[in-house]
Amino acid sequence: MAARWTIYLLALLAGIVAGIINTLAGSGSLITLPMLIFLGLPANVANATNRVGVILQNVIGITTFQRGGKLHLAGVKWLVPPAVAGAVVGALIARSLDAEAMNTVIGAVMVLMLGVVLFNPERWLRSRSEVKPGRPNAGVLALFFALGVYGGFIQAGVGVFLLAAMVLGLGYTLVDANGIKLVIVLSFALVSLAIFASGGQVNWALGVLMAVGQGAGAWLAARFAVKNKNANVWVRRLLIVVIIASILKLFGLLPL
């Protein structure tokens, strides 16, 4: 029994770390998914259960950003609908794709993402958003639909892709993009969880336990982003570390 409690404690701690990483960068699910599987859940159930913590951490992160005056939602009304529509598609096909092949593809994309983050520091570290008013073009909306499909399917790493799309493609600062990212992820996580729950794939006990840790981590991370003047610099550094860890994990080079 003691060993069982130790495992649950590790799950709680993993949730805290994932909440911090997900709020500031993304890919925290590369910590929580393996932990849920380690606790004995089948991969598909772990993938579904992981959304419980994602929802809570995003609610807390959004609230903290808003109270700190760092939640600027200009243009978000154009980005959420295509992302949610994509999430419905992704969640519905989540059980039909080969996980190993997906890992290889995602890992390759992460390698490309690492190059983008490393070699475009000026755009990642801009101090003011340069977002154009009005509806984004069809290409941007299609991109967010695709990101929604990916988020609905597996979640892990979607925060990195969303940040890249908003910072490099739309002109947001990292801090502003983080707040909007939380709103988008919350929206399609709610839809995905509803689809998975309707199929009886969610372990609510473990999901809520890990969600408590993720919520605490999200609060700590959002407070840091709101109060630290050099938040853009630190978020980019964390983003680089997260991407490297994600690449190693997806190609089976990081034990967990």
Domain ranges across the chain: 11-250
Instruction: Give the model's confidence band at 1: pLDDT under 50 very low, under 70 low, under 90 confident, else very high.
Output: very low
Tokens 């404690």 belong to residue: 9
pLDDT band for position 157 (50/70/90)? Answer: confident
- Residue 2 pLDDT > 50, yes or no? no
The answer to whether residue 192 scores a pLDDT higher than 80 is: yes
Amino acid identity at 213: G
| Nearest one of 120, 226, 117, 131 to 173, comparing CA atoms | 131
- Which tops the pLDDT comparison, 218 or 195? 195
Report the alpha-carbon distance of residue 230 to residue 90 in Å, rounded.
36
- pLDDT above 60: residue 77: yes
Percent of the chain with pLDDT over 70: 75
Give mean pLDDT, residues 152-181: 81
Range 108-116 average pLDDT: 70
C-alpha torsion sign, points 77, 81, 83, 87: positive
What is the band of 146 on the pLDDT scale with cuts at 50, 70, 90?
very high
Q: Are 99 and 43 in contact (CB under 8 A)?
A: yes
What pLDDT is attached to residue 89? 93
Average pLDDT of the segment spanning 83-105: 78
* Alpha carbon distance 179, 163 (integer Å): 10
Residue 195 has pLDDT above 80, yes or no: yes
Lowest model confidence (mean pLDDT) among 57-71, 75-89, 125-139, 236-250: 125-139
| CA–CA dist 81, 144 (Å, integer) | 9
**Has residue 100 got a pLDDT over 80?**
no
Widest Cα–Cα separation across the chain: 58
pLDDT at 113: 66
- Comparing 55-59, 222-226, 239-243, the range with the smallest average pLDDT is 239-243
Q: What is the pTM of this model?
A: 0.72
**Nearest 10 degrees: CA dihedral of 100, 106, 111, 116?**
180
Give percent above pLDDT 90 in the chain: 11
**pLDDT for the residue 85:** 94
Query: Average model confidence (pLDDT) for the chain?
Result: 78
Higher pLDDT, 2 or 200: 200
